[in-house]
Structure 1
Amino acid sequence: MVPTAAEAVTSPPTVADGVSYLPADRSVDLVDLTVGGLLALRAAELPDRPALVGARHGDGREVRLTYAELHAEARRVATALLRLARPGDHVALWAPSVVEWPVVQYGAAIAGVRLVALNPVLRDRELEYALRHSGSAVLLHADRSRDYDMAAVAGRMAELFPGLTVVSLRERDRWRADEADEALLAASPTDPDLPVMLQYTSGTTGNPKGVLLRHRSLVNVARLTMEHVGAPAQAKVVSPLPMFHTAGCVVSVLGPLWSGGVVRIIEQFVPSVVLVHLRADEPDVLLFVPAILGALLEAQRAATEPAPRLPLVMGGASNLPASMIEAAERVFGASVLNIFGQTELAPVLSATRPDDDRQDQLTTVGHPLPQVEVKVVDPVTGAVVPAGERGEICARGYQQLVEYLHDPAATAAAVDGEGFVHTGDLGSMDARGYLTVTGRLKDLIIRGGENIAPAEIESVLVTHPDVLEAAVLGLPDERLGEQVGAVVRLRDEREGLLESLRTHARDHLSPHKVPARWFVAEALPVTPTGKVQKFRLADQLRAGGIDGLRELVG
């Protein structure tokens, strides 16, 4: 029986009665700070400490800001935003990871507006949907990202939405005041339970939903994540993660803010360029998603310069194979930590730690952070399953979403009657509370009545010496209902590849899990955080294939 939230306050942080329920660890208090309040605190304590490094919009010039400078800039931005919008309005930011991104993030928090974080690759229809759905009062946009003319798209949005104020980042005098207006800023929010950000889900299942998050969630997730993984005080952090996602603007930006550290944000991920920064900066922490870490390992393999030493490498967002953890340890001398969560949890639920048992580091997503309850339930009945058995991972705590904006039905479907967020991730909890993720509930392959989790197969396939990346999904089969299909991206293609892949799979998997069909792809359709969009993969396979994809036969 899972206790109510009030009853759970006094529960000890151990797995209850052999079932997959872990009460929240209340031994660590939450902090009652807004995002702007935390920045003001650090600026007062550490005014001359480096806080932020990044490329300026337009010319790419490197900008370095101390905490005092960053706080002053954010207050000027807050002043300008309050001349364009009212507290509580939605202000959309549509830009790559330029240095202005976190400056606007802080300014919006101080102003009391809700920042709508938008992916810079959105096309007209997608951007129109987000602006219409959020009811944004302001669109603050970059002019260009790589070869994408964002200014032209923003101009078309101005025509579509006559009431929308559209401002380019090049128009600094419109989004940044010359001086902070003390009268305007006197009403800056102090309540950490107020909403501060709207994040759109990454779209692995179709249309995105708007996830509304609180100040308290963002500040405490950033703080507790850094403390949980043992990041040092005043940590130097390098983050190639996109700022529009919570992993970027919460863990990468607010994490160093909590520790009094400095973050370098990377505008565009180019592996060889990031390696140069890593060698020069000698950071304490590198943030990653598996696609980024894999690309850095491949780039270092081809490099003539020595590999940078990286004490702490932390990330997640998709399946992290043990082979990649071991490779990063070997190449970068790193302690590689696996972080698990989702946007709805702002975004971290659990993480491994440097002092964890070796098997835990390689095969689990670690122990939940303090102040969050976790249960694993039967996806059909909703009953909590015995410890060690697989089910859907659910969480209840300070960090969960306020709601899906304008979508009470989706909110009710995601949050059960006890207030737990259903993550949609399948996994198990052991007697200590450590979590293992086995896949997504929606991705389950049902082959002749057998439930097969793609993540297990993918973890095996990426240990093949020729495989860089793998995606496993169910394909229709008249006799079995579904059969296992595998799409791989290769390092090298050699003669006898198909038989080599089959043999590798047979050596490590039960016969019913061995893929029946194999495909080779030049690239896999992914979200900006590196999650493979299997619904797109399945749709494109049914439609006759993907550019650069072919089936292996023989």
Structure 2
Amino acid sequence: MREPLTTSLWSRDDSVPLVEYTVGSLLAERASTHGDALALVGTAHGTGEQCRLTYQDLYTEARRVATALLRLAEPGEFVALWAPNVIEWPVIQYGAALAGVTLVALNPVLRADELVYAVNHSGAAVLLHADVSRDYDLAAVAASVPSRCPALREVVSLSARDRWLAESADPPATAAVRDADAPVMLQYTSGTTGLPKGVLLRHRSLVNVAKLTVERAETEPGAVQVNPLPMFHTAGCVVATLGSLWLGGCMLLVEHFRPAPVLELMEKEQATVLFCVPAILGALVEAARDTGGTAAALRTVMVGGANVPAALIETTRQVFGASVHNLYGQTELAPTLSATGRSDTPEDLANTVGRPLPQVECKIVNPITGAVQQLGASGEICARGYQQMIGYLHDPEATARTVDAEGWVHTGDLGVMDERGVITITGRLKDLIIRGGENIAPVEIETCLLGHEAVLEAAVIALPDEQWGEAVTAVVRLRGEPYDGLRDALVAHCRGRLAKYKVPQHWYAADEMPVTPAGKVRKFKLREAVAAGILRPLG
């Protein structure tokens, strides 16, 4: 039992040792210990056929991929993958790790210029791509890329299986395959402003973050886990994919999320674990209520990417009988820093992001002075440990702005820590609204709004105001159609729970929120929509 903290500084918990697997060696281990167990279920590229792979199947396919990739690229080079959640995605992820190349995970919605930027920035030697994602012609866009990407040697469609999947399954060993500190993946941040930065991550970080996250939620060995999260993001390809690998479980990979079919899949496969963002969880709860669907075996829900309303956590418990666990982190931390555990109090499960995972230090600091804050005082969340990024690729200045001279990663998120080390998120540094000299954290107001029965999603932004400098502005997605008196009802709801200066002055309704792949609302897009007159005011 740890002594209570006296300041907002969490020292490293080394009671749980790190493991020294690489992504490839862990897969090899599971093929040896769980060879006949079902490892992966997903749809095949091009045909939509559902495929089911055991651990021995998965390891064999990954070794065939590694053999083929080493004909296209050298160990240590970058290989980009541009595809939706088809079953080939995790197979190629494992194959790249075995080959000792660094996988560049790309969002399949990228437009041509964005794709060119990522390929050129990463210096990728190979681009593997799906032919289509939803109604987007990836093949046509990929064909236009080589003339604009001088370092790109090969552009290979997933339909050309003989080029990325060899007949044999015996790639030569490389030093990188055995080195847990070697780079394994490049993730582009889905940041809310500016050009994306390439976050370079190592094997040790990915394997241990996945292991420690699923262990914090007390996920049972062999669990059947549903993953509707995009594989190009760390939540999907690290926590869900490698978490399932660590447990010797089966990952059900969802190509396109639709609530009713996913509920049917969960019931059919007797899924016990769901990985999701709040919007997905909310949609599944609504679908279960509307259709009477169920997921009887569901025991654990792991949610990250955005603030999870306490009401949604409680509703999930009522509808599915499952425990909901808040995960907090960012890509630069591979990605989990903290999470709630099954034995946490109902209050902690509903309102906090839990304690830091083992083997990482965490502190809350004054954003101006850098001094460690007193317990309960809001400040910037900082972390230091094995899981932090190697750095931003080709950008030492940006790396130095994020990782200070003492090695602490500055997350840009605001939070408070109590004497137990439990963290509560209070907002984003850049999201702070300054109204008449008062600093206002939007997340507090958003949480308040999500407690109203008419509100499904809420985002609070700042708009310029001649008198106050900035005006608090609420954008809501409603459960139904707006009705007469709704604005007044929402104002009254806020006034009963918030200080007067925090109550929104302006109100807008949105049919959907513009979000990043991680599920975070792009608030600058909302400000642009308000300025352009696209959002309808709540009268």
Q: Taking structure 2 as the reference length, what is the TM-score of the superposition?
A: 0.98
Matched, 1:246 2:261: no
Look up the match of 1:262: 250
Q: Pick from 147, 166, 171: which aligns with 1:177? A: 166
Whether the 8 Å contact between 1:197 and 1:212 is mirrored in structure 2 is yes
Matched, 1:122 2:110: yes
Alignment of 1:401-550 (within 5 A): 401-492=389-480, 493-542=482-531, 544-546=532-534, 549-550=535-536
Whether the 8 Å contact between 1:439 and 1:455 is mirrored in structure 2 is yes
Whether the 8 Å contact between 2:264 and 2:293 is mirrored in structure 1 is no
Alignment of 1:379-398 (within 5 A): 379-398=367-386
SS at structure 1 position matched to 2:124: coil
Q: Pick from 27, 30, 46: which aligns with 1:42? A: 30
Look up the match of 2:538: 552
Look up the match of 1:27: 15
Q: Distance in 2 between matches of 1:70 and 1:431?
A: 45
**What's the offset of the Cα at 1:545?**
2.9
Query: Where in structure 2 are there 5+ consecutive unaligned residues?
Result: none
Q: Pick from 43, 53, 62: which aligns with 1:65? A: 53
Q: Distance in 1 between matches of 2:108 and 2:244?
A: 24
Report the AA paired with residue 499 of structure 1. Answer: D
**What's the offset of the Cα at 1:416?**
1.1
**What's the offset of the Cα at 1:431?**
0.4
Q: Distance in 1 between matches of 2:456 and 2:135?
A: 27
Deviations 1:293-324 (A, max 9, x none): 11111211211444544110111110111011
Whether the 8 Å contact between 1:14 and 1:23 is mirrored in structure 2 is no
SS at structure 2 position matched to 1:508: coil
**What's the offset of the Cα at 1:463?**
1.5
Q: Distance in 2 between matches of 1:13 and 1:250?
A: 29
Flag the 1:186–1:389 CA change in 2: closer, same or farther, 3 A: closer
Whether the 8 Å contact between 1:93 and 1:115 is mirrored in structure 2 is yes
Report the AA paired with residue 114 of structure 1. Answer: T
**What's the offset of the Cα at 1:524?**
1.3
Report the AA paired with residue 151 of structure 1. Answer: A
Q: Distance in 2 between matches of 1:195 and 1:357?
A: 38
Report the AA paired with residue 525 of structure 2. Answer: R
Q: Distance in 1 between matches of 2:493 and 2:361?
A: 39
Look up the match of 1:348: 336
Q: Pick from 135, 149, 161: which aligns with 2:149? A: 161
Look up the match of 1:330: 318
Whether the 8 Å contact between 1:438 and 1:453 is mirrored in structure 2 is yes
Whether the 8 Å contact between 2:270 and 2:295 is mirrored in structure 1 is no
Q: Distance in 1 between matches of 2:406 and 2:3?
A: 20
Q: Where has structure 1 moved over 6 Å in runs of 4 or more?
A: none
Greater shift after overlay, 38-47 or 494-503? 494-503
SS at structure 2 position matched to 1:349: strand
SS at structure 2 position matched to 1:474: strand
Q: Pick from 223, 227, 232: which aligns with 2:211? A: 223
Flag the 1:457–1:309 CA change in 2: closer, same or farther, 3 A: farther
**What's the offset of the Cα at 1:465?**
1.2
Q: Taking structure 1 as the reference length, what is the TM-score of the superposition?
A: 0.95
**What's the offset of the Cα at 1:15?**
5.5
Q: Pick from 356, 366, 386: which aligns with 1:378? A: 366
Matched, 1:113 2:113: no
Report the AA paired with residue 435 of structure 1. Answer: I
Deviations 1:251-296 (A, max 9, x none): 1100010111110110011111111111111112101100111111
Q: Distance in 1 between matches of 2:479 and 2:345?
A: 31
Q: Pick from 129, 141, 145: which aligns with 2:133? A: 145
Whether the 8 Å contact between 1:15 and 1:23 is mirrored in structure 2 is no
Deviations 1:99-125 (A, max 9, x none): 000000000000000000000111111
Over the matched positions of the two proteins, sequence identity in percent amounts to 61
SS at structure 1 position matched to 2:301: strand
SS at structure 2 position matched to 1:31: coil
CA RMSD of aligned residues (A): 1.3
**What's the offset of the Cα at 1:552?**
2.0
**What's the offset of the Cα at 1:61?**
0.5
Report the AA paired with residue 538 of structure 1. Answer: R
Whether the 8 Å contact between 1:14 and 1:22 is mirrored in structure 2 is no
Q: Distance in 1 between matches of 2:224 and 2:295?
A: 18
**What's the offset of the Cα at 1:161?**
2.5
**What's the offset of the Cα at 1:14?**
4.8
Report the AA paired with residue 486 of structure 2. Answer: L
Whether the 8 Å contact between 2:76 and 2:176 is mirrored in structure 1 is no
**What's the offset of the Cα at 1:362?**
1.0
Look up the match of 2:92: 104
**What's the offset of the Cα at 1:248?**
0.2
SS at structure 2 position matched to 1:41: helix
